[in-house]
Structures are given as C-alpha cells and as structure tokens.
Amino acid sequence: MTALGTDKMLAHKEGAIGWITFNNPGRHNAVALEMWQGLHDAVAAFAQDDEVRVLVLRGAGGKAFVSGADISEFEDRRSSTRTIADYDAIAARASTALREVNKPTVAMIRGYCVGAGVALALNCDLRMAADDARFAVPAAKLGLGYEFEGVRRLVQVVGPAFAQEIFFTARQFSAAEALAMGLVNRVVPADGLEDFVRDHAAMIAGNAPLTVASIKTLVAQALKDEADRDPALCREVVARCFASADYVEGRRAFMEKRKPVFRGR
C-alpha cells in the first residue's frame, strides 16, 4: 500500500497493475482537495515503479466512480480568487500527472461518473464501464465555468456535437449512450467489470512496455496542432523500441513459438 496522506485515496499494486481507489463512498467518491493531492502522489509513485505497467482507477463502494468535486468544501476552499487559483492548481497538477504518466491508464467505471469524474475518466487512456454507469457534466446547473482543456479533451473523445449535448443539457447519460458517443471503450455487466478490467490490464502488461509507451506518446502528439508537435520525440520513441532488448526478445519468442518475456529495456 502506498501512503498518500489521506485515507480517502488508496493505492496498491497487484503484480503489474497499480490500483488507485477514490475512497469516499459516503459521498459517492466526491473528490476533496486532499484527494487531488493523493491522486498526484499515487500516480507519481507508480510512474517510478518499474514493476507496474498499467494503472487502474476505480471508486470504492460500488455505487460511483467519482460523483464530482466535493462541493461542500467550495465555500472554504474555492470561494475567492486566491482560493480558486490554489485549488485549481492542485487539481490541475494531479490531472496532468494522470494524463502524462508514461504508462497506460484505465478508468474502471461503476455507478455515477459525474463532473470531475468524467474529467478524470477522460484523462485516462481507456474507459471501461459497467452497464449501471451513469455519466453527466452538470456545470450548467451550477453556473460553473469549465476550463478549455477539459472541453477540448471531451471534444477529442466524443466530437463537438456530443460534447455540446453533454454540456448544454447537463443531463445524465446511460452507459449505452456513453458507448454510442465513444465516451467509453467497453460496457460490460456490472458483476463482471472487475474481471474484465483485470484481464485487459494483464493483456496490456504482457506486451512490450517501450512499444506501449511509444504509442501513448505518438497518440498524444497526433492530437496536438501540427505546429506544436515534436517530430524528434516521435522518431526517438520509435527508435528506442527497435534498439531495445525487448525487440530482440520479441523476435526470438516469435521464432521459437513461445510467449515473450519483456523487461521494458
């Protein structure tokens, strides 16, 4: 178990999977400020652990992934220009760490995934949902402004028409609707979600880490405006794969008709 400075966030690893749990079930895992800091610390710890090859985010209690930010603390922690800036900086730091960690990330979504929950899920590479999942971004019901990067990420995933429908209506969408929009990758029965995610994570973890990391880098570059891309970085991550011991292992395993054992180097 990784120490995170709050009992509302949990982190532990099982083999090659690093599990990060939003542990505030009494409030449907609404994210308090200390949880944003805990998320950052968990991601940073797993980023440095070579044994961990995939990160999975989930909510405790089975009723929610994350139901949004903990609005009950906004009066104290997000009510003035200074406190809003401080809060947003901590949340942005955690979101950036999750989005940019050089390992695949999976959001395992049961129940409510609302507001900040949708933003967190969008910052993961893959989103696997139970058939009982419910999605919403209720900013328009609260009078909140929504940061450009959050809107941009939603547009990248579901397209402008669905992004506007999600924001304009502020209503809840079913898992089936989320799948049709492309908001989630898969929808499975709730009682089979964890096994499904474990199998997927194990499949990813068994592949060559340098190749997987290169694809994450290249996809991120592809989503940038052409003027902002880093062609040298794109070439470098591909060259690193071909120069690796894992490439040698992959070729030999194929010829010897056995499962490769990749080391990430």
229 found inside a domain = yes
Each residue's pLDDT tens digit, 120-130: 999 999 999 99
Q: Do 223 and 129 belong to one domain?
A: no
Q: What is the pLDDT of residue 69?
A: 81
- Looking at residue 173, the DSSP 8-state letter turns out to be E
Q: Are residues 120 and 245 in the same domain?
A: no
Strands 134-136 and 173-174: antiparallel
Question: Which token pair is 210?
Answer: 């340098």
Question: For the domain that residue 39 is a member of, what is the CATH number?
Answer: 3.90.226.10
Answer whether 22's CB lies under 8 Å from 59's CB: yes
Asked if 92 and 148 sit in the same domain, the reply is yes
48-53: average pLDDT: 95
257 dihedral zone (left: phi>0; alpha: psi -120 to 50; beta): left
The whole-angstrom separation of Cα 33 and Cα 93 is: 12
Query: How far, in Å, CA of 86 to CA of 180, rounded?
Result: 37
Residue 10's pLDDT is: 96
Number of domains forming the structure of the chain: 2
Average pLDDT over residues 10-21: 96
pLDDT at 80: 61
Which position has the higher pLDDT, 81 or 112?
A: 112
Mean pLDDT, range 79-108, rounded to an integer: 87
Instruction: In whole angstroms, give the CA distance from residue 148 to residue 145.
Output: 9
Local structure of 47: helix, strand or coil: helix
Residue 77 has pLDDT above 80, yes or no: no
- Mark whether 124 and 231 lie in a shared domain: no
The boundaries of the domain holding residue 53 are 9-205
Same domain for 247 and 151: no
**Residues near 104 by Cβ (< 8 Å), separated by ≥ 6?**
53, 54, 55, 125, 126, 204, 212, 216
- Strand (E) or helix (H) holding 127: strand 126-130
Residue 1 reports pLDDT greater than 70 = no
170 shares its domain with 87 = yes
The rounded mean pLDDT for the chain is 92
Instruction: Specify whether 187 is located in the same domain as 239.
Output: no
